[in-house]
Amino acid sequence: MTTLTAPVGDALRWTLVDSWTIARAELLHWVRNPSLIASSVAFPVMFVLLFGFVFGSAIAVPGGGDYREFLMPGMFAQAMVNGAAATVAVVAANRALGVTDRYRSMPVARSAPLIGRSLADMVGSVLDLVVLVACGLLVGWTTRTGVGSTLAAVGLLLLLRFAMIWVGIFLGLLVSQEAAGLAWAPLFPLTMIANTFVSPAQMPPVLGAVADWNPISATVTATRQLFGNPGAELTATWPAQHAMLLAVLWPVAIVAVFLPLAVHRYRRTSG
C-alpha cells in the first residue's frame, strides 16, 4: 500500500506547490499594476452609488424595507459574476503572449496553471468583496444576523465566483485576445435579468420566470436571507422558496460542466 499511495501523495503535493507558485506570480503581476485593481472595483462601486442614490430614491421594495439593504446582496453577487470578464481577458492575454505555452513546456503539474489561475482570481475576488462590503456599509447597508449566517452568505458568494472563474477560464482559452472583451457580452444580460435590482414579481411574466431560475437570483435570495436584508420573501415561486439549495446546486453544476471543458481545451491549446 505504501508504494502505491506515496506517489499519489507526492503528485498531489507538487500540484499544490506548483499551483500556488503560479497563483503567486499572477498576484504579483496584479499588485504591480494598480490600474488592474482599480478597474476591477470601480465598476461595482459605481453601480452601488448609481442605483443606491440615483435610482434608489425612485424604487420601492415591495413589502417595505430599505432599498439599499435590498440592493447590496444583489450587487455582491453581480460583482462575483462580472469578475469572470477579467478572467477571460487575462487567460486570453496569456495565450496571446505565449505564457500558456511557457507553462506547458515547464516541468510543472499539468493542472497547475489552471488551478493557479483560479486561486489568484479567488484572492482577487475576496478583495473585491471587501471593498464592496465597505462601500455598502458607507451607504447604509448592514447585516442583521449573527457571524455564522454572515460568513455563510460570504461563502455562497465566493462559491458563485469560483464557478464563474471556470466559465471565464474556458472562454479565455476559446477566444483571441482581441475578442476577449466581447466574449462576456452575450452573458451580461443574465446578470441584469435577475432579482438584483428589483423583484422578479415586478417584471413582465417571461422575464420574471427567467429571473426566478437565474443562478444569480438563487445566490441573491439566499444571501438576503442570511444577511437578514429585505426582499428574500418577495416571491412565492419554487426557486425562491428553495434558494439556499439552488445557491449551492447551481455553482456546483456550473463547475461540473466548465471545469472539464476548460481542462480539455487547455490540453488542446497550442497558443
Q: Which three cell numbers stand for residue 227?
A: 444577511
Confidence band of 244 (pLDDT split at 50, 70, 90): very high
Task: Give the model confidence (pLDDT) of 145-191 as tens digits.
Answer: 989 999 999 999 999 999 999 999 999 999 888 888 787 777 778 88
N-to-C CA span, the chain: 41
Task: Give the model confidence (pLDDT) of 97-152 as tens digits.
Answer: 888 888 877 877 778 889 999 999 999 899 889 989 998 888 889 999 989 999 99
- Other C-beta atoms closer than 10 Å to the C-beta of 207 total 14
Closest CA to 76 of 36, 38, 48: 48
Confidence band of 271 (pLDDT split at 50, 70, 90): very low
Q: Which of 86-90, 116-120, 229-233, 239-243 has the lowest mean pLDDT?
A: 229-233
- CA-to-CA distance for 163 and 165, rounded, in angstroms? 5
Q: Which residues contact 194 (CB under 8 A, 6 or more apart)?
A: 74, 77, 78, 211, 214, 216, 217, 220
Query: Does residue 4 surpass a pLDDT of 60?
Result: no
What percent of the chain has pLDDT above 90?
41
247: exposed, middle or buried (Cβ count in 10 Å: 0-12, 13-18, 19+): buried
The answer to whether the beta carbons of residues 198 and 230 sit under 8 Å apart is no
Q: Domain residues for 59?
A: 2-268
- CA 188, 206, 194, 114: dihedral to nearest 10 degrees? -50
Residue owning grid cell 489552471: 114
**Total domain count, the chain:** 1
Please report which helix (H) or strand (E) contains residue 10, including its range: helix 2-31
Sequence letter at residue 142: T
